[in-house]
Amino acid sequence: MYKKIPLKPYPNGWYVLATSDEVGTGAIVSKKFVGKEVVIFRTASGQVAISDAYCPHMGGHFGYGGTVKGESIQCPFHHFCFDTKGDCTATGYGTKPSPRLKLDMWHARERNGFILVYYDEHGNAPTWEVPDIDQSGWNKTITRDYELASHPQETTENSVDIGHFTVVHGYSNVKQLKELMLSGHYLNTRYAMTRQGTLLSPKGKLATEFDVHVYGLGYSFVEVDIPDLGLKTRQFVFPTPVGDGKIILKIGMSVKYIEKPSTVHPLLSLVPAPVFNRIVSQQAFKGYAHDVSQDFKIWQNKIYIDPPVLAKGDGPVAQYRMWSQQFYYPD
């Protein structure tokens, strides 16, 4: 399947399938994941569950005419119902269902406004979790999806590829402020750089710091601090493998709420804070999406060199690749 990337296509770990807003109470949402059809549904009590899309009774697709009945999902074909553990709770005829009738369920979590699913090549249960982060005092996260021909390990490698920050994104004065920290499934480092400014930055350049948090190969976010403007953002990066060498790359951004716009610029003192925060969030996300899109042609057309012949200035790519091996079982 993967000729240009000689890696197993589906690393073990947590992946984002949807935002919480996409799946309201009683909703059923169809998704593709690791070459399979799955559905996300939310029960009457608000619990999120993820199951295979096809009813194990006679193959009806829950995403096309299925409904949520209380704490169960009902198949549109014969109205067989299954709870969040995959047990059949009712047939469409009022008869007792066979105990052998089980709907395959996926491990699901709801974290930080996103719905995650766990993949393990051998079907094992999760051995680690994506943490909750404090979102009080932050604006609503804006997201966007892209379908790309790439791999989660390739896109996540950008977090340690210091050299491409200048060449691809045009940042200058790039420095690594913190040595790469690897702890189990978690990777962390911190950078400083100068980037192109905005109308609010008279110098035309902005000193920026990036604190990178990577949880496995499918869940990353970067805390960005722009001291000159008093702005803090969180940039989310979620590559989810869907099959046939494709990923859905979901990006997101949240801006820390600014109570007094005048702290950013004196001329903004008359702008209401809610209006200012909405505009800043939209413009900041636009800039973030632009930066991410600069990588698309490279990701979709590169090949995977293993081992790479590295040079001073590349960053800790070798350490990252060694760390990444834990998310695959040996053949």
**pLDDT tens-digit readout, 51-69:** 999 999 999 999 999 999 9
The torsion defined by the Cα of 180, 183, 185 and 191, in degrees rounded to 10, comes to -20
| Residues 185 and 66 grouped into a single domain | no
| Residues 110 and 75 grouped into a single domain | yes
| Residues 165 and 275 grouped into a single domain | yes
Q: Which residue has the tokens 């869907």?
A: 242
The reply to whether 130 falls in a domain is no
Q: What is the CATH number of the domain that holds 62?
A: 2.102.10.10
Helix (H) or strand (E) holding 74: strand 72-74
- Residue-wise pLDDT tens digits, 237-287: 999 999 999 999 999 999 999 988 888 777 777 789 999 999 999 999 999
% of the chain with per-residue pLDDT over 90:
89
Neighbours of 232 (CB within 10 A): 18
Tokens of 76: 């549109």
The partner residues of 178 in beta bridges, in order of sequence, read 190
Residue type, 240: T
Q: Can you give the C-alpha Rg of the chain in angstroms? A: 22
| Residues 284 and 196 grouped into a single domain | yes
pTM recorded for the entire structure: 0.94
**Which pLDDT score is estimated for 303?**
94
**Which pLDDT score is estimated for 200?**
54
If pLDDT is split at 50, 70 and 90, which confidence band does 184 have?
very high
| Residues 57 and 186 grouped into a single domain | no
| Residues 217 and 295 grouped into a single domain | yes
The partner residues of 247 in beta bridges, in order of sequence, read 148, 241
The partner residues of 81 in beta bridges, in order of sequence, read 74, 90
If pLDDT is split at 50, 70 and 90, which confidence band does 131 have?
very high
> Rounded mean pLDDT of the chain?
94
The reply to whether 196 falls in a domain is yes
Q: Residue 212: helix, strand or coil by DSSP?
A: strand
Tell me the backbone φ, ψ of residue 72, rounded to 5 degrees.
-130, 160
Tell me the C-alpha distance between 252 and 289, whole Å.
Answer: 9
Q: Which domain holds residue 85?
A: 13-119
Question: Please, where are the H alpha helices in 57-212?
Answer: 152-156, 162-167
The reply to whether 317 falls in a domain is yes
Domain total of the chain: 2
